[in-house]
Amino acid sequence: MSLFRSARSLLVLARSATHVETCVAPVQILLRQYSVDQSKFTPPSFGKWAILGGITSSALFFSQKSFADAKVESKPPEDEYIRPPPKGLPKSLVLYQYEVCPYCCKVKAALDYYKLPYIVVEVNPLLKSELSWSSYKKVPVLKMDEEVVVGSSAIVSRLTAEVEAVSKKSPSKKPVGQSGISIEEEVKWRKWVDEKFVKILTANIYRSWSESWDTFKYITEQTNWSWGTRELARSSGAILMWQVGKRMPAKYGIEGDLREALYRTCNELVDEVGLKRPFLGGSTPNMADLAVYGVLKAVEKTPTFLDAMHHSRIEPWYIRMTEVIGPSSRVSTEGSTWGLSS
Ligand SMILES: N[C@@H](CCC(=O)N[C@@H](CS)C(=O)NCC(=O)O)C(=O)O
pLDDT of 102 reads 96
Per-residue model confidence (pLDDT) at position 36: 32
Decide if 10 is inside a domain: no
pLDDT digits (tens, 9 = 90+) for 158-213: 999 999 999 876 555 455 556 789 999 999 999 999 999 999 999 999 999 999 99
* Tens digits of residue pLDDT in 20-42: 344 433 333 333 333 333 333 33
Do residues 135 and 202 both lie within one domain? no
Ligand 1 pocket: which of 80, 139, 196, 244 to mutate (most atoms <8 Å of CB)?
139
- pLDDT band at residue 227 under the 50/70/90 scheme: confident
CATH number of the domain encompassing residue 250: 1.20.1050.10
Q: What is the pLDDT of residue 115?
A: 97
- Segment 67-80 mean pLDDT: 80
Q: Let me know if residue 20 belongs to a domain.
A: no
Per-residue pLDDT, 54: 52
The CATH number that applies at residue 150 is: 3.40.30.10
- 163 and 274 fall within a common domain: no
Is 90 exceeded by the pLDDT of residue 233? Answer: no
Claim to verify: residue 307 and residue 225 sit in the same structural domain: yes
Please write the tens of the pLDDT for every residue from 273-317.
999 899 999 999 999 999 999 999 999 989 999 999 999 999 999
Residue 156 lies inside a defined structural domain of this protein: yes
Q: Looking at the structure, tell me whether residues 118 and 198 fall in a common domain.
A: no
How far does residue 105's CA lie from ligand 1's centre (Å)?
A: 12
Which of 13, 16, 19, 23 to mutate to test ligand 1, by most ligand atoms within 8 A of the CB atom? 23
Please state the three-class secondary structure of 231-286 as a single string.
HHHHHHHHHHHHHHHHCHHHHHCCCCCHHHHHHHHHHHHHHHHCCCCCECCECCCC
Tell me what the pLDDT averaged over the chain comes to.
Answer: 81
Please tell me whether residues 293 and 202 are part of one structural domain. Answer: yes
Number of domains in the chain: 2
Asked, for residue 72, whether it belongs to a domain, the answer is: no
* Residues 138 and 250 occupy one common structural domain: no
User: Taking the model in full, what pTM does it have?
Assistant: 0.80
Tell me the residue range of the domain where 104 lies. Answer: 93-177+329-334
Q: Is 152 in the pocket of ligand 1 (CB under 6 A)?
A: yes
Q: Is residue 207 part of a domain?
A: yes
Same domain, 247 and 157: no
pLDDT at 49: 47
Q: Which residue, judged by its Cα, is nearest atom 8 of ligand 1? A: 20
R_g (Cα) of the chain, nearest Å: 22
Same domain, 207 and 295: yes
pLDDT at 134 exceeding the cut of 50: yes
82-120: string of b/e by CB count within 10 Å (b at 16+)? ebeebeebbeebbbbbbbbbbbbbbbbbbbbbbebebbb
Is the residue at 218 inside a domain? yes
Question: What's the pLDDT score for residue 229?
Answer: 80
Please tell me whether residues 169 and 240 are part of one structural domain: no
- Domain for residue 111, yes or no? yes
- Position 93, amino acid: L
Helix (H) or strand (E) holding 97: strand 93-97
Asked whether residue 341 is assigned to any structural domain, the reply reads no
What was the pLDDT predicted at 220? 78
Asked if residue 171 and residue 125 are part of one domain, the reply reads yes
Q: Are 255 and 319 part of one and the same domain? A: yes
